[in-house]
Amino acid sequence: MTLDELLQPARFQPLLLALYGPELMPAQLPVLVSQWSKYYFAMLWQAASAGQVPARFDAVTVELDARGLPVTFMAAQAPYCASFSDVLEQHVRPLIARLALLGQLPAAVLWGNAGDYLEQQLKDDPQARALLTSAHSPLFEAVRYEAEGRRRRRTCCLSYKVAWVGYCEHCPLLSGTDQAQ
């Protein structure tokens, strides 16, 4: 199905319900959209490193696994983004705008997820490094390293709001002593 079709409330909300269950959906909608976006961004940055992100957001077709998580995407007869900056502008920006509305959550949470996965997967790539270090990029310093080397996200992904998920290991809400326990 196309990404545009998938991101319609009538399609996306049942997907989240099937994936996370009625005990979390819709009460934890912002958390669930944030968590789903992590899977998408992991897939997206891998595709970007191979030059395989379609340049037209509206032409993207997404393949989901049996659970409803994204595994790949493609576009029929569409050119591909030429750089990570193009991916950011032509794919990530419209995706985040849609997900923020669907999930009723701040776009900063989603930008943090996008930057976190870019940094995890491709921090040594010069294009990725440029997006993560430019003060003009929404991914600027999505991740920081503390003096003792501990990796810390700039923004929280909200996972702590669901008890069985808990705090992520790079949560900005935890102090170094909290993580040592």
The pLDDT value recorded for residue 128 is 97
User: 151 - beta bridge partners?
Assistant: 145
Q: Which residues of 93-126 are buried (b: 16+ CB within 10 A; e: fewer)?
A: bbbbebbbebbebebebbbbbbbbbbbebbeebe
Question: Which residue in 139, 104, 119, 114 sits closest to 33, CA to CA?
Answer: 104
CA 171 to chain CA centroid, Å, is 15
The whole-angstrom separation of Cα 46 and Cα 86 is 15
Please give the single-letter amino acid code of residue 108: A
Q: Which residue in the block uniquely carries the two structure tokens 């900063």?
A: 108
Per-residue pLDDT tens digits of the chain, which is 181 residues long:
999 999 999 999 999 999 999 999 999 999 999 999 999 999 999 999 999 999 888 889 999 999 999 999 888 777 899 999 999 999 999 999 999 999 999 999 999 999 999 999 999 999 999 999 999 999 999 999 998 889 999 999 999 999 888 898 899 998 654 544 4
The pLDDT value recorded for residue 175 is 64
Whether the CB-CB separation of 16 and 29 falls below 8 Å is answered with: yes
The whole-angstrom separation of Cα 64 and Cα 69 is 5
Element (H, E) at 62: strand 60-64
Element (H, E) at 73: strand 70-75
The pLDDT value recorded for residue 176 is 56
Number of other residues whose CB lies within 10 A of the CB of residue 67: 11
Number of other residues whose CB lies within 10 A of the CB of residue 32: 27
Axis-axis angle for helices 9-20, 93-103 (nearest 10): 70
